Amino acid sequence: MTERFSNFNTPLKALPGQLLVAVSGGIDSVALLHALLRSGRKPIVLHFDHGWRKESKADAKWVRDLAQKAGLRYVEGKMPASARGCHEAGARAARYAFFSKMARRLGRTDLVLAHHADDQVETFLLQLLRGSGAASRGMDPVSRRDGLVLHRPWLGLWKKEIATYARQHRLKWRDDATNTDTRHRRNLIRRRILPYLQKQLSPSAAENLLRAAEIFRAESEWLDSLCEKAAREKELAVKSLRDAPLARQRRTILRWLQHHGIPDISFADVEAVRGLLLQTVPAKINLSAGKFARRRSGKIFIQ
């Protein structure tokens, strides 16, 4: 690979040998597949057809042909017809369910995704606006989900850099017209909100948000490491946690609730449990999934 594009190849060196790669047919995933091939990798290509667009069948065939020309195995999944009207979160869940199923079937757990810096900024901004609290850190370069190890080696590269790479190597790709539809939240942020912030507040708004996401992520990992032991306990000791700094209290409670399988944890849930550190009445607060947290004899536990 030329020196000009060495920053595309360097993050790929840390990837395992046996890989799956998600290829939609768009410029980002096509460029990623090209770079993986140039690095000597032979990934299995996974493509998921959401069935949202009349061109989706042609997209799938195009990706299949691309994989076959490269001598790569190709596996395709399709959204069930009954679920094709679902929202973004439902579509994402269906897509990852397919990836997980294929990982088990193919005996490969490492999946490479083409998320880049623009995606990271959009994700981080969405998390902040949604009130995700401690989860507002963007995407991790390496994360785990449903038996998959997800690798995002290009989070430090901007979309415009990937476009330059694709043009330099004369790559072809499929354009998705739905990427211009601002009814989707990501498109709204990409096409209206970020350009507005860059014009009205700072030309470096996207870069500043990317930097903030990286800072939040690193600090979050450090805080998690401090809270890991307590979060895995069956009960929380009231006195020791009450004496801890506020940030450590909140993070310990959040991770403790997650460890005990409480879904959809909100900031209000964490604060309600934290309230049990400071008072004896009420000694019980409701949580989701039909569970509740109780304080008794200096301990907080879940029933």
**Phi/psi at 79 (5° precision):** -65, 130
Query: pLDDT digits over 217-256, tens only?
Result: 999 999 999 999 999 999 999 999 999 999 999 999 999 9
First to last CA, the chain: 57
pLDDT > 70: percent of the chain? 94
Instruction: Give mean pLDDT, residues 51-71.
Output: 91
In tens, the pLDDT along 75-97 reads 999 987 665 556 677 788 889 99
CATH topology of domain 232-302: Chorismate Mutase Domain, subunit A (1.20.59)
3 has pLDDT over 60:
no
The percentage of residues in the chain with a pLDDT greater than 90, rounded to a whole number, is: 68
Q: Answer whether 195's CB lies under 8 Å from 50's CB.
A: no
pLDDT of residue 1: 42
CB within 8 Å of 120: residues ≥ 6 apart:
138, 139, 155, 210, 213
Over residues 150-169, mean pLDDT: 96
Contacts of 195 (CB under 8 A, 6+ apart): none
Question: Any idea where the domains of the chain sit in the sequence?
Answer: 3-117+137-178, 232-302
Q: Give this prediction's pTM.
A: 0.87
The reply to whether domains 3-117+137-178 and 232-302 share a CATH topology is no
Specify the DSSP class assigned to residue 235.
S
Q: In what order do the strands lie in the sheet with 74-78?
A: 74-78, 44-49, 20-22, 110-112, 148-151, 142-145
CATH topology of domain 3-117+137-178: Rossmann fold (3.40.50)
